[in-house]
Structure 1
Amino acid sequence: MSGACDIIDKSTYQVISRRKFEALDGTALKCLFDRKYLFQNQKKFQKEVALIDEVLASKKVVPNFLIIPTYRCNLSCGYCFEAAYKITENMSSNIEWIEQCLNSIDEIVTQSKKDFDFNDKDVYITLMGGEPLLAQNYEQVSEIMNQITNHGYSFNVITNGTDLDVYLDELIRFECQSIQITLDGSKEIHDNRRIYKNGNGSYEKIFQNIELALSRNLKIYLRVNLDKDNLVDLPNLAKELLDYFGENDNLVPYVYPMQDGGCLGDGGIIDEIVCIEEIQLLNEKHPQMALFDKKFHASSFMDTVFQNQQFEMKFRNCSATNNQYIFDYKGNIYKCWFGIGNANFKIGTYGKALSLNRQQDALWKNRNIKTLTKCQSCKYRYICGGGCLSHVMTSADDAKKERCIDFYQIIKAQLKGRLAK
Structure 2
Amino acid sequence: MIHQYKLNGHNIVLDTYSGAVHVVDDLAYDIIALYEAYSPEEIAARMLKKYADHADITEKDIYETIADINKLKKDGQLFTEDTYKDLSFDLKKRKTYIKALCLNVAHTCNLSCEYCFASQGKYHGERAIMSYEVGKRAIDFLLENCGFHRNLDVDFFGGEPLMDWKVVKQLVAYARSKEKECKKTFRFTLTTNGMLLKDDVVDFLNEEMHNVVLSLDGRKEVHDRLRKTVNGKGSYDYVVPKFQNFVKKRGDKEYYVRGTFTHNNVDFTNDIFHMADLGFDRLSMEPVICDPKEPYALTREDLPEINRQYEILAKEMLRRSEKGNGFIFYHYMLDLTEGPCIHKRISGCGSGTEYLAVTPWGELFPCHQFVGDEAYSMGNIWDGITKPELQNQFKECNCYSKPECRDCWAKLYCSGGCPANSLHATGSLKGNYAFSCDVFRKRIECAMMIKAAESIKAMEKDKQTVGK
User: TM > 0.5 between the two?
Assistant: yes
Q: 1:197 to 1:370 in 2, by over 3 A?
A: same
Deviation at 1:155, TM superposition (A): 0.7
Residues 396-405 or 148-157, more deviating: 396-405
Q: Where does residue 262 of structure 2 map in the other structure?
A: 227
Matches within 5 A, 1:174-185: 175-185=208-218
Deviation at 1:396, TM superposition (A): 5.9
Q: Where does residue 89 of structure 1 map in the other structure?
A: 127
Q: Where does residue 376 of structure 2 map in the other structure?
A: 345
Q: 1:361 to 1:216 in 2, by over 3 A?
A: same
1:17 aligns with 2:33: yes
Aligned equivalents of 1:29, 1:198: Cα separation in 2: 66
Matches within 5 A, 1:133-144: 133-134=162-163, 137-144=164-171
Aligned equivalents of 1:108, 1:154: Cα separation in 2: 17
Aligned equivalents of 1:237, 1:385: Cα separation in 2: 26
Q: Is the 8 A contact 1:67 1:128 kept in 2?
A: yes
Q: Is the 8 A contact 1:334 1:346 kept in 2?
A: yes
Aligned equivalents of 1:188, 1:97: Cα separation in 2: 40
Q: Where does residue 247 of structure 2 map in the other structure?
A: 214
Aligned equivalents of 2:142, 2:136: Cα separation in 1: 10
Q: Where does residue 387 of structure 2 map in the other structure?
A: 357
Q: Is the 8 A contact 1:161 1:209 kept in 2?
A: yes
Q: 1:74 to 1:172 in 2, by over 3 A?
A: same
**Cα displacement string for residues 55-94 of structure 1 (whole angstroms, at most 9, x for unaligned residues):** 98889887211101111000000100111843351326x5
Deviation at 1:193, TM superposition (A): 2.2
1:72 to 105, 108, 115: 108
Q: Is the 8 A contact 1:132 1:159 kept in 2?
A: yes
Secondary structure of 2:378's partner?
Answer: strand
1:167 aligns with 2:201: yes
Deviation at 1:387, TM superposition (A): 2.8
Q: What is the one-letter code of the residue matched to 1:33?
A: K
**Cα displacement string for residues 8-57 of structure 1 (whole angstroms, at most 9, x for unaligned residues):** 34444444333335454444412222134236xxxxx35x3457768988
1:127 to 147, 156, 161: 156
1:34 aligns with 2:72: no
Q: 1:27 to 1:194 in 2, by over 3 A?
A: closer
**Cα displacement string for residues 103-122 of structure 1 (whole angstroms, at most 9, x for unaligned residues):** 2122221xxx2xxx332xx1
Aligned equivalents of 1:139, 1:272: Cα separation in 2: 43
Q: Is the 8 A contact 2:210 2:254 kept in 1?
A: yes
Aligned equivalents of 2:335, 2:320: Cα separation in 1: 24
Aligned equivalents of 1:3, 1:397: Cα separation in 2: 32
Aligned equivalents of 1:315, 1:283: Cα separation in 2: 26
Secondary structure of 1:256's partner?
Answer: strand
Secondary structure of 1:229's partner?
Answer: helix
Deviation at 1:160, TM superposition (A): 0.8
Aligned equivalents of 2:316, 2:149: Cα separation in 1: 47
Q: 1:2 to 1:100 in 2, by over 3 A?
A: same
Q: Is the 8 A contact 1:316 1:322 kept in 2?
A: no
Q: Is the 8 A contact 1:64 1:125 kept in 2?
A: yes
So what's the TM-score if we normalise by structure 1? Answer: 0.78
Deviation at 1:209, TM superposition (A): 2.1
**Cα displacement string for residues 326-348 of structure 1 (whole angstroms, at most 9, x for unaligned residues):** 11111210112211222122211
Aligned equivalents of 1:399, 1:154: Cα separation in 2: 29
1:6 aligns with 2:7: no
Aligned equivalents of 1:411, 1:138: Cα separation in 2: 36
Matches within 5 A, 1:278-293: 278-281=309-312, 293=328
Q: Where does residue 136 of structure 2 map in the other structure?
A: 99
Aligned equivalents of 2:214, 2:440: Cα separation in 1: 32
1:146 aligns with 2:173: yes
Aligned equivalents of 1:208, 1:162: Cα separation in 2: 11
Aligned equivalents of 1:159, 1:408: Cα separation in 2: 25
Matches within 5 A, 1:195-344: 195-217=228-250, 219-232=254-267, 234-235=269-270, 238-239=273-274, 241-242=276-277, 244-245=278-279, 251-260=281-290, 264=294, 267-268=297-298, 271-281=302-312, 293-294=328-329, 299=332, 303-304=334-335, 310=339, 313=342, 314-320=345-351, 322-344=353-375
5+ residue gaps, structure 1, are: 40-44
Secondary structure of 2:364's partner?
Answer: strand
Q: What is the one-letter code of the residue matched to 1:167?
A: V
Residues 203-212 or 308-317, more deviating: 308-317
Q: Is the 8 A contact 1:273 1:410 kept in 2?
A: no
Q: What is the one-letter code of the residue matched to 2:165?
A: Y
Aligned equivalents of 2:187, 2:440: Cα separation in 1: 38
Deviation at 1:309, TM superposition (A): 6.1
Q: What is the one-letter code of the residue matched to 1:170?
A: F
Q: What is the one-letter code of the residue matched to 2:262?
A: D
Aligned equivalents of 1:267, 1:240: Cα separation in 2: 23
Secondary structure of 2:243's partner?
Answer: helix
So what's the TM-score if we normalise by structure 2? Answer: 0.71
Aligned equivalents of 2:360, 2:307: Cα separation in 1: 38
Q: Is the 8 A contact 2:88 2:398 kept in 1?
A: no
Q: What is the one-letter code of the residue matched to 2:395?
A: K
Secondary structure of 2:347's partner?
Answer: coil
Deviation at 1:415, TM superposition (A): 7.8
**CA RMSD for the aligned pairs?**
3.7
1:410 aligns with 2:448: no
Secondary structure of 2:260's partner?
Answer: strand
Q: What is the one-letter code of the residue matched to 1:227?
A: T
Aligned equivalents of 1:325, 1:358: Cα separation in 2: 13
Deviation at 1:323, TM superposition (A): 0.9
Q: What is the one-letter code of the residue matched to 1:316?
A: S
Q: 1:288 to 1:258 in 2, by over 3 A?
A: farther
**Cα displacement string for residues 248-285 of structure 1 (whole angstroms, at most 9, x for unaligned residues):** 7xx41222222335994663457455313034347768
Aligned equivalents of 2:236, 2:166: Cα separation in 1: 26
Q: 1:144 to 1:9 in 2, by over 3 A?
A: same
Aligned equivalents of 2:74, 2:264: Cα separation in 1: 48
Q: What is the one-letter code of the residue matched to 2:108?
A: R
Q: 1:379 to 1:288 in 2, by over 3 A?
A: closer
Percent identity reads: 18
